[in-house]
Structure 1
Amino acid sequence: MNTRRHRSALLAVAGTALALSLTACQGGTDSDPASAGTPSAAASATAAGNGKNTGTSDSADSAGTAGSAGSSGSNGAGASAGTSGSSGSSGEQASASDAVCTAGDITVTAARQDGPPYTHLVLTAKNTSHRSCKLPGFPHVQFLESHKQDVPAVAKSKPATPVVLTPGAPAYALVKFSDGGTDEDTEPVSAFSVTLEGDSTVIAVTAPGSGGIAVDPAKALTGYWTPELRRGADDF
């Protein structure tokens, strides 16, 4: 009996020890999630920190981008304003630098236009000076000493802007002196006078041909100075 009780007591002690051992193991296992949770918390903290950094970076980038855009806009406006100013200034300088041509700057010659019956002359004004000059308006032509009025100008031949002659460059004006009819009241002209707009100096021009031209003062007309004779505007 004593031996059985002793064995029972030993078994009971062994069972208790086993139970304690199992409890201890279970307690250790329960602590693992807590320790596993620590890295998770750290990861969350890191993620939160990264989120802050990312936000800061985005904000900085956005601010930088906005700043850059602002600079570009400012520079663009400045460039536009500068360009606009330069264009205006350049136009004024070009206009101010061109003096009006005088009789001393050009030579004027006359040639017949087309074939018989000859009714028109082409006047050529060539810049013989060493400077550029403007040749505004039309040639003021007087064919006859007995007829002191200037030949009327044809408005449709007026160019949009005055001709600017560089050294050596020509300008042209078409001049009608008759209708070419045999019954016209004409007078022979071997030379005539031309004056320029803004200059009263008389330029003597020799009429083309050995016998000159037959002028009808009632039919005479002149066109404006142009860089070239233009079909339509210079037909009159």
Structure 2
Amino acid sequence: MSARTTRTRLFAATTVALAALALTACQGGSDTGAEDPSSSATATVTSKPSAGASTGAGPDAGDSAGAQGQGGSNASTGSGSSSGSSGSGSGNASGSNGGSGGNGSQAGDKDDDTKPGKCSASSVKITATNVPRPINHLLLTATNTGSRTCYLPAYPMARFGEAQSVPPVAEETKPQAVTTLEPGKSGYAGVLLSAADGSAGDGYTANTLTVPFDDGSVATVALPSGGVHVDDALTVTYWQPSMDTALTY
């Protein structure tokens, strides 16, 4: 082989080698340039909501959590305000009821002042009078000298002299309702002192008479001059609103 031929082949080989190197360099540059679009595409996918949701660590997730936190805070605040309003309403209602209760109490006190109470010896005067008919009878008159209406006991539990017991009441004289006395008005009760034919025993003359009231007070009643004669027939009627009814027994 000639030297020329040899140089020609060496030159060709060198040219091929340089071309290969150049091609390799171009391919390396092309690969390097391709990496950027690939990297950019990856970043773009990461910024998508699905990628952010899968990682759970992106800004979107943080903002979402912040929004949820604010929403929860607002909900809590709203609930507190509602509860506070409810509490305030309850308080006002309670106050209103309290005021109503107070008014009701005042009204009740006012009503109590107008309702009849128990008669008392301090506001009711009882007198005893002999009557011609029926014979051996005494008329008791109870007059309200006070300023308030009151109701009498069912009947006068009269105690004559030193008697240890009170006389029985004639049940047939019981009225439909307890006798009530308006100021200045009177109630009446009849007293059978003794048997008309003198058949009853244990007779004696009584010079004093006391009549108790339901409130615990006791009225001292003045008897006719010389006292009255009583025996085992002693009986009283219920208090009556009229004199005639009281003297029918």
Aligned residues: 138
By how many angstroms is 1:181 displaced? 3.9
* Alignment-mate amino acid for residue 135 of structure 1: L
Q: Is the 8 A contact 2:190 2:236 kept in 1?
A: yes
- C-alpha spacing 1:159/1:183, structure 2 compared with 1 (3 Å): closer
Partner of residue 43, structure 2: none
Structure 2 unaligned spans of 5+: 1-110
Q: Is the 8 A contact 1:195 1:201 kept in 2?
A: yes
Decide which of 196, 207, 216 is 1:200's aligned counterpart: 216
1:213 aligns with 2:228: yes
Percent of matched pairs sharing the same residue: 32
1:122 aligns with 2:122: no
By how many angstroms is 1:234 displaced? 4.7
- C-alpha spacing 1:132/1:186, structure 2 compared with 1 (3 Å): same
* Root-mean-square deviation over aligned CA pairs: 2.4
By how many angstroms is 1:205 displaced? 1.0
Bigger radius of gyration among the two? 2
Secondary structure at the aligned position of 2:126 is classed as strand
1:100 aligns with 2:118: yes
Counterparts of residues 130-149 of structure 1 (less than 5 Å): 130-145=147-162, 147-149=163-165
By how many angstroms is 1:160 displaced? 0.6
Decide which of 167, 170, 184 is 1:168's aligned counterpart: 184
Structure 1 unaligned spans of 5+: 1-92
Between Structure 1 and Structure 2, the one with more strand by share is: 1
Structure 1 runs of 4+ aligned residues shifted over 4 Å read: none
- C-alpha spacing 1:211/1:118, structure 2 compared with 1 (3 Å): farther
CA distance in 1, matches of 2:199, 2:180: 41
1:188 aligns with 2:201: no
> Alpha-carbon deviations, 1:164-183, whole Å to 9, x = none?
21111010000111013456
CA distance in 1, matches of 2:135, 2:228: 8
Q: Is the 8 A contact 2:118 2:215 kept in 1?
A: no
By how many angstroms is 1:128 displaced? 0.5
By how many angstroms is 1:224 displaced? 0.8
